[in-house]
Structure 1
Amino acid sequence: MTFNIETERLLLREMRDEDLDGLFTLDSNPNVHKYLGNRPIKTKAEAQKVIDSVKQQYKERGIGRFTVVEKTTGNFVGWSGLRLNTEYNMNGFTTYYDIGYRLIEDYWGKGYATESGKAAAKYAFEVLNLKRLYATTHIDNQASHNALLKIGLHYLNDFYFPQEKMTLRWYKINNPKL
């Protein structure tokens, strides 16, 4: 499966084994995991498991997170995009398409979450013809809250997520073409 989505500054493509170092840099940073349960990874083997899981999602579900690359430098920025959630009961939903992103700290504050998220939503609605997308963020993660609103999602409510023992915010966007 090959994905290539271009924005003004970014390339979103399928996640590959060559993303190992970038993914390790991303997910080993405690600041990145501040609102994700404070469990940064410690080894590249853990990063490879994430890559393998996303590649398996491509095969089984036809979609998974995209690697985000900065076009001017070719640098790994993080990941963004879509995922079909079937693992968790989130706010009463057990099967839904989620939009999300996670960026290396050096790329925070540049609008890349919003830019990549808008491209992923457009892909979801125009290529996959999905009816709606959902998203979550930690209640205290104001930057992510702002990015989700800029992508076009609407804040719905807060809920407690017992698996992670945290309160999350719940968002939704409907396909404007349906």
Structure 2
Amino acid sequence: MSIFIETKRLYFREILEDDDHNMYELDADPEVHKYLGKKPISKIEEAREVITFIRQQYIENGIGRLAIIEKDTNNFVGWGGLKLIKELTNSHINYHDLGYRFMKKYWGKGYATESSLAVIDYAFMRLKLPVIYAIADENNLQSQKVLEKCGFKKRDLFDYQSQPHYWLDLVNPES
């Protein structure tokens, strides 16, 4: 197992096929999906399809969302990291998007901020990316707070999946 990123309390690894039950628990929760613009999944097969899609991104793009594991317990707490977006979004294409999703039982522990800061460091120091983007639903105040705490700046409010979303960016200070 390769660990890609590590923090004081968490580590990141590839999402594996045997993460299917954890991915199902995560994506079947309506509260987790509240601001995602899509319905929660209802079958484990859907979680397996998501895993296959993410693993294909590793092959095609050399990057993709990663499983986030709590060090003390070795529990899967969610996923996060960078994704190369190849579709046109808010006049951007082929950009790196920072994203995260956590099981509800791990909310409020600071994991979103801790993991995002580690991903930003990885993106700028290891991958030498000039900029990272993020998207947050206009009503998802908690996610906006996390992103702004990590240094992201709101640049635009735009329509994404028929809902107003903020477009945020963070420029590499070394660029």
Length-normalised TM-score, structure 1? 0.94
- 1:108-147 equivalences under 5 Å are 108-147=107-146
Q: Name which of 161, 165, 176 aligns with 2:162.
A: 165
Q: CA deviation at 1:15?
A: 0.9
C-alpha separation in 2, matches of 1:148 and 1:49: 28
How many equivalent pairs are there?
175
Gaps of 5+ in 1: none
Q: CA deviation at 1:4?
A: 2.4
C-alpha separation in 2, matches of 1:96 and 1:139: 21
Identity %: 44
Contact 1:65 1:79 in 2 (8 A): yes
Residues 99-128 of structure 1 deviation map (CA, whole Å, 9 limit, x = unaligned): 010000011111101111111111111111
1:21 aligns with 2:17: no
C-alpha separation in 1, matches of 2:67 and 2:173: 26
Q: CA deviation at 1:2?
A: 3.9
Contact 2:98 2:134 in 1 (8 A): yes
1:94 aligns with 2:93: yes
Q: Which moved more, 1:131-140 or 1:89-98?
A: 89-98
Contact 1:30 1:38 in 2 (8 A): no
- 1:47-62 equivalences under 5 Å are 47-62=47-62
Gaps of 5+ in 2: none
1:152 aligns with 2:151: yes
C-alpha separation in 2, matches of 1:7 and 1:21: 24
C-alpha separation in 2, matches of 1:2 and 1:56: 17
Give the counterpart letter for 2:117 in structure 1.
K
1:176 aligns with 2:169: no
Shift >4 Å, 4+ stretches:
none
C-alpha separation in 2, matches of 1:13 and 1:145: 25
C-alpha separation in 1, matches of 2:147 and 2:89: 17
Please name the residue that 1:74 is paired with. Answer: 74
Q: CA deviation at 1:154?
A: 1.1
C-alpha separation in 1, matches of 2:99 and 2:147: 9
C-alpha separation in 2, matches of 1:137 and 1:149: 11
CA RMSD of aligned residues (A): 1.2
Give the counterpart letter for 2:65 in structure 1.
R
Give the counterpart letter for 2:56 in structure 1.
Q
Length-normalised TM-score, structure 2? 0.96
Contact 1:135 1:172 in 2 (8 A): yes
Give the counterpart letter for 2:71 in structure 1.
K
